[in-house]
Structure 1
């Protein structure tokens, strides 16, 4: 058995193809070599050191004997403090490998593993951690991305029999099926023609709107000669798009803007005007969008996967990361539910509408409702007519006389609508209707102006994962959810009992006793209703 120095031998470069220095040829399917250029500035530890040790096994004495030993090194020796940097001394303990995988799974920095274990003293560094993750990925993807995803789904189903998955082999009409046949109320996308055609075909009754952020971005590109001038154009465009509440007012202001800036013949602006109903706010405020105008920032899919998915994420990792992203969303919702239910908003006793809003709305929605209430003092109300029990009010701004809104209101049911259509678009009462309520001494928000999605405890119950059922205290679970939860628990017990006959007999005996007890329990439970949550806005 021969032991040599780590610096034994010399690096041999290949001089081929007109003098180009190359190394380590790869091979094509036809067997021909593919030359690969040597990376610039590469180095080698090889220096032709002759130090070596040769030992042989003596079968007569059953001992190993040293036959040759040469300790003449032709290079400086590595000091004890640096020996862990040598390849032969590098080693990742199992605990380090497990922690590296755990950090990667939870999207924590891998470099922290080295700091925790003191890798420089044990014999590994950040590069070893990344290499270990690479090897893990390769092992998981031995059968390919798709096969790995199938294996992952099967494992999830083994852990939780209620976990369902389906593989679709075609692309015809699957989006609607994925949402249980219930189309979304509204969709926001960019100006992609393929999506426009597909949405019109699959969701014919859904309000499709274009992302205003993408359109505003093009204003800078297409109209730079006007947009960056020292003029009112930029400000006037914003007012025209965002602060116009009547269609005729928008169209009038748009035409005036084009004339003032000499843009009547601009083809791009003309095209935008022709499709104004698909992006200008005033044409879409009658449809519920939860106040969203853009797919950007927290409203986009990028935010959902932020910190979980990168350009190097493979298909198997994507499915796992999707699970983690969903759990993060659920955790945030649970945190917000706790804040809303167990922390009380501070409101003056004489502000009855605010007190009612604080009791029913979640924390974030109440803050928006409070903003609308704060604007009440900047408006005044005039009664302008009454027809068939419908009282019409004009709500005017005290600062800007031109800023006024008509609010027709049924004095019996308090059903009404404001010209600004804030409730229809955002789902929260506007300042103008609230001003009328204050005028009429209405102390509570009428039920028809409270969306179920904005209420506290809007999340009645849900199954997060195989760990169990999450539901509000005092709420009846549906039969389907109870069945799923019991199947999960029964499966866990069955897995514990399966390995041994003794455990199996204990399990069967306990199940028989349980069956006798359950047969004595009445089957019908009063007030057992499956609660269907509100449709969710899809973007």
Structure 2
């Protein structure tokens, strides 16, 4: 049954071609034994049901290990697969003889395991050691056990696997109170987390006031969780420094941003980013200057360009020529002289000379106009608005301003998981498909193998444009340096500086420096 569902899933996702359909009789023969067989194997692995409290796998009772017979009734009529699954995966309260299976010892290096005779300065050290062993290496949750005191000093203490013992059966108590005030008391359907596991360590306090492991049991009677689920263990749930650093700010004052960037640096091991992009927040700018003095700070073009509508007349908002010239000036200028010339012409042509907002934006032009920092790696993320627009549009599908903090956090986490899943799909596509080449050049073929499809598509547009619209105007060679003047059908000239010994080329358009894509 598991194989059938996996096959159907692969067919649906397009990873597998659909084969001939199974006949009803064949499916009945395949589903019955396979279903029970898979379920038994999963029960032995401890994967049939999850533990709400610890994330550890429950070991359901296999009292009816001959569950294969349950897949069919006495008259050979097939029971629905869901019926069989529900029977096999529903754990019931039974004696320890039904729950305990063969002992299980986690595969952990000997140097990382607890051992009789180990000594610790404090109980806090004992707890940290045992939890580190359980969470990071073995894969089970820890429960702090009972202790014995004398003169307010703890002399002995237990640290258990969280699945030690059994919970008290309160069914009778619930039945006794079912008639109170004529209403039947509702009982919660709580999953059983205890299975009588004996794994533990027991420490005693010696004359030197240190704690020593006096006895221990390493074996568990249940499976442990896989590494990618260990963060779900109940005793391993805690707020990390990185999460604390991502907390919401109570206000937007300088001190709040100073705290935020200090926390960010701490979470990143003291390593500051090369480039940081923000909106026009004065408090944030001041805090960056204090805490991240070596980081290049630039303003988000998307936020600035979004405010253009608010600062022009209605007639200008509908003027297509204005928007074309503004976009060309801001995004397509390749030299400072070119930008300033275009800006001044645009201001005069559209009668914006007295516009205070445009005047202020020109004064801070070095912080948001790409040509002023085009040689900074990743500056390309500031050059167009598509990245900011798509990010805002994406997150707006999941969150809005009226959400509570908890709901916001859950939705934000869901959005990130969705993004990661989409990235995995694109990675899979890049690994298993090959883009169509447009030129016979070796460079295009090489890049098709090292770039993802999305990046290769951008590179391919450049290489096709070079073939169709660019031509060599002149070549000058000086020792190891080769200077090539490139003309184009757009009547723009660019100079390529090529170092023959280092095999490094640079173009005055600086597309590679800012976007990481050769022009």
Normalising by structure 1, report the TM-score.
Answer: 0.46
**More contact order relative to length (CA 8 Å, sep ≥ 6):** 1
Normalising by structure 2, report the TM-score.
Answer: 0.48
- Highest Rg: 1 or 2? 1
